Amino acid sequence: MTLNEVPLIVTGRLAAHDDAHTIARYEATDGYQGLRAALGHSPAEVTGIVKDASLLGRGGAGFPAGVKWGFCPPNVWPRYLVINGDESEPGTYKDRILMERDPHQVIEGILIAAYAIGCAQAFLYCRGEMALAHERLGAALNEAYAAGYVGKNILGTDYSIDIAFHWGAGAYIVGEETALIESLEGNRGMPRLKPPFFPAAKGLYLQPTVVNNVETMANLPWILRNGAEAFHALGAETSRGTRLFAVSGHVKNPGVHEVEFGVTTFRDLIYGKCGGIRGDRALKAFIPGGASSPWFFEEHLDLPLETKAVGDAGSMLGSGAIVVMDETTDVVKASRSLVRFFAEESCGKCTPCREGTTWMERILNRIIDGEGRPEDMNLLLDVCDNISPTITWPPKQTTICPLGPSAPPSVASVVRRFPEEFERYLGAKFEVTVPINGAAYLPKPAASATVPGGTES
Amino acid sequence: MARLNPENTELARELIGHYPRPKSALIPLLHLAQEQDGYVTDEAMVHIAELVGVTPAEVLGTCTFYEMFKREPVGKYLVNICQGIACTIMGAEELIGHAEDALGIKVGSTTPDGTITLERAECQAACTEAPCLQVNYRYRYRVTDEDFDGLVAQLRSGALDAEIPPHGTLARRPYRQHMPADRRNGPGFIDGAGEPVWIKRHREAAEAQGSTS
């Protein structure tokens, strides 16, 4: 199992240099050359380059970045750019590294994007709890202003823009783009209804607004320096370039790895880069793409880290968060941890999410505390079904944003795959009468029927 | 313990100037109040409302939505132990139990000497370094029970004063953003906004080229 040698597009500098966050190191290592290249093109050409590169947004939804920029209605001004650095999805750890250790790369990406879109101002919204990232980004912005890369008449051209550093105060929901905008307007971070409040049309201050992820921005300087073709040459299918994956949990060497997108497999990451399962134990399950994604199992290890392939198998790559669980894991408690997260972080606006996630947590607490009743299983699934009808994948929505419907997948995964673990807590068998749908919510395959790389048909 | 002091009022005005609309500065200003007093006081919220041009109730409304804002005093150090999924399967519950025993308090309370407040936190984006915690939002990775005890001893002795400021301070002053007056472009105001000059230049150039070919 050898991984392709690929350029480290977003982590190359920080991997090689401890002082990658300083402007001196940044300028000495191709820094702001992507911005210079962009200013030599028209804004439309820069958008075209990003489209040709097929850069997918790295926030979780995976929408093509260049296409998203094009959604702003023509001739409506001002337009704003908001960068989402509110990384808080359980298992996700990538944007913080980029903000703390190579902040100028993020800033340069913002300058390139705002030039292409034609923005009047850019806002970099960093998660509140990341004090070091605040200091690194604040210092980097001060350096970049002093050097003439940000502000008025950038590099002596007619391109002018301010980047305002903004920081949150602890609310996962603010990672949802319309909630991010509400928060940036100084309000409670509750999502807005779409339509009409699609950010491209009615975003910040109800003006056309592009909301992009930090890692998405960090890719832009490299693309502008090396061209769309060089980026597109990496990866496969719709998943081009490289991508950051945080592999955590029961592996020998947990870590954040930048690997070729689309071709690297889960096995390459878990058993190659991360050295396999701790104590050479057996793999029980792994979360492929953050707290919202249906779990994967041994038979999924040879799937490529490719958006469509993982989607076809019934889950998602999401925010690049892979959490590995070995055979000793109490999956009922693991599932409770995920449900508790959504219950804690529900903003309270929509009833199915506010009430449903709370009930789910209470039922799971009761089961884990040994007070559960066999009928609790169908009650739990019935609540899931009310939050997200038919418990399928991708989840059906009853709510303004996807937070609530993100809670059922972990429970559905465990109930289908490991019913005996619930039975151990309940001290009784149960029969599930509430149907669970979705390709990945599969029971354990028969011992001889494990098909590497595919799902059971 | 009250309104923002003159220095912070000055900084508040500077922050408000970063945005097209003053209310956008609300969260940074609440952080400033918390940095000054260790928590967000009623008087500070009234002052912020005056500075931003909204009612104190609106400031309170925003303040109460966000986990980081404390409405009553907390310890000099807020210790948040992560209970996210990666930390949970790597021993977060056991670490929280140890912390409660070692400090002699339950999660959600403060040591009698006012030094440490203990809380559970949702995912802190350090999943590969589980179990992790934050002290006043500064990370500690792969924390063992012994690490925790050592950390508490260091906090109590003042050995970490240079690295970890008291609760409320996020970016320390030298690392805050300051837009220099001679370099800044100014907020992207809505009123009077037209097509940005570089967009207009390229559009007109493209149109001119189109009409000659």
Co-location of B49 and B13 in the same domain:
yes
Query: Matching CATH topology for A12-232 and A235-326?
Result: no
Q: Report yes or no: A348 at the B interface, CB cutoff 8 Å.
A: no
Residues in chain B where the model's pLDDT stays below 70: 1, 213
Is residue A29 classed as helix, strand or coil in its secondary structure? coil
Nearest 5°: the CA angle A126, A128, A134 is: 60
Q: Contacts of residue B202 in chain A, CB cutoff 8 Å? A: 42-44
Cβ atoms of B83 and B122 closer than 8 Å: yes
pLDDT value at residue A456: 37
Alpha-carbon gap, residue B164 to A371, rounded angstroms: 43
Whether residue B33 contacts residue B200, with contact meaning beta carbons closer than 8 Å, is answered with no
What is the domain-level CATH number for residue B56? 1.10.10.1590
Q: Coil, helix or strand for B82?
A: strand
State how far the Cα of B141 lies from the Cα of A186, in Å rounded to an integer.
33
A93 vs B contacts (CB less than 8 Å) = 125-128
Q: Which residues pair with A124 in a beta bridge?
A: A83, A165
Q: Is residue B193 domain-resident?
A: no
Tell how strand B77-82 and strand B133-135 pair up.
antiparallel
For residues B83 and B152, state if they share a domain.
Answer: yes
Put simply, the answer to whether A340 touches B83 (Cβ < 8 Å) is yes
Q: Are B153 and B81 part of one and the same domain?
A: yes
Q: Are residues B48 and B90 in the same domain?
A: no
B51 and B97 inside one domain: no
CB pairs under 8 A between A and B: 237
Residue A141 carries which side chain, given as an amino acid letter?
L
Count the Cβ atoms, other than its own, within 10 Å of residue A2: 6
Q: Round to whole Å and give the CA distance between A420 and A430.
A: 9
pLDDT at A60: 83
Decide if B133 is inside a domain: yes
Are residues A127 and A88 in contact, defined by beta-carbon separation less than 8 angstroms?
yes
The per-residue pLDDT string of chain A (457 residues; one tens digit each, 9 = 90 and over) reads: 456 688 999 999 999 999 999 999 999 999 999 999 999 999 999 999 999 999 999 988 889 999 999 999 999 999 999 999 999 999 999 999 999 999 999 999 999 999 999 999 999 999 999 999 999 999 999 999 999 999 999 999 999 999 999 999 999 999 999 999 999 999 999 999 999 999 999 999 999 999 999 999 999 999 999 999 999 999 998 899 999 999 999 999 999 999 999 999 999 999 999 999 999 999 999 999 999 999 999 999 999 999 999 999 999 999 899 999 999 999 999 999 999 999 999 999 999 999 999 999 999 999 999 999 999 999 999 999 999 999 999 999 999 999 999 999 999 999 999 999 999 999 999 999 999 998 888 888 776 544 444 443 3
Quick check: is B196 in a domain? no
- Clarify whether residues B29 and B51 are in a common domain: yes
Cβ distance A128 to B170 less than 8 Å, yes or no, reads: yes
- Geometric angle at alpha carbon A352, from A349 and A353, rounded to 5°: 60
For A235-326, CATH gives: 3.10.20.600
Q: Residue A166 is nearest to which of B28, B86, B206, comparing CB atoms?
A: B28
Confidence (pLDDT) at A2: 53
pLDDT at A454: 40
Place of tokens 């000793």: A328
The answer to whether A185 contacts B183, with C-beta atoms less than 8 Å apart, is no
Q: Where are the domains positioned within chain A?
A: 12-232, 235-326, 331-449
Residue B111: CATH number of its domain: 3.40.30.10
Percent of chain B with pLDDT over 90: 97
DSSP state of A393: S
Domain end point (choices B71, B102, B122):
B71
Q: How many distinct structural domains can be found in chain B?
A: 2
At B206, list the tokens: 């493209």
Identify from A134, A349, A365 which residue to disrupt to test chain B contact, counting B C-beta atoms within 10 A and taking the largest count: A134
Given its phi and psi angles, is residue A209 left (phi above 0), alpha (psi -120 to 50 degrees) or beta? beta
The answer as to whether B175 is a domain residue is no
Alpha carbon of residue A221 to chain centroid: 21
Q: What is A12-232's CATH superfamily?
A: NADH-ubiquinone oxidoreductase 51kDa subunit (3.40.50.11540)
Interface residue A275 vs chain B (CB under 8 A): no
CATH number for the domain whose boundaries are A331-449: 1.20.1440.230
Helices (H), B54-195: 56-63, 85-89, 92-103, 145-157
Alpha-carbon distance of B149 to A79, in angstroms, equals 51
ipTM above 0.90, yes or no: yes
- Contact yes or no for A254 and B127 at CB 8 A: yes
Same domain, residue pair B40 and B93: no
Per the structure, the complete domain to which residue B112 belongs is given by 77-157
List chain A residues with CB under 8 Å of B24: 166, 184-186
pLDDT for res A450: 46
Cβ–Cβ gap B52/A121 under 8 Å: no
Tokens (6 digits) for A142: 């001060």
Assess if residue B149 is contained within a domain: yes
Residues 6+ apart with CB under 8 A from A132: A100, B138, B139
- Residue A136 near residue A100, CB atoms below 8 Å: yes
Residues B147 and B89 in one domain: yes
Same domain, B93 and B128: yes
| Separation in Å, CA of A457 to nearest CA in chain B | 30
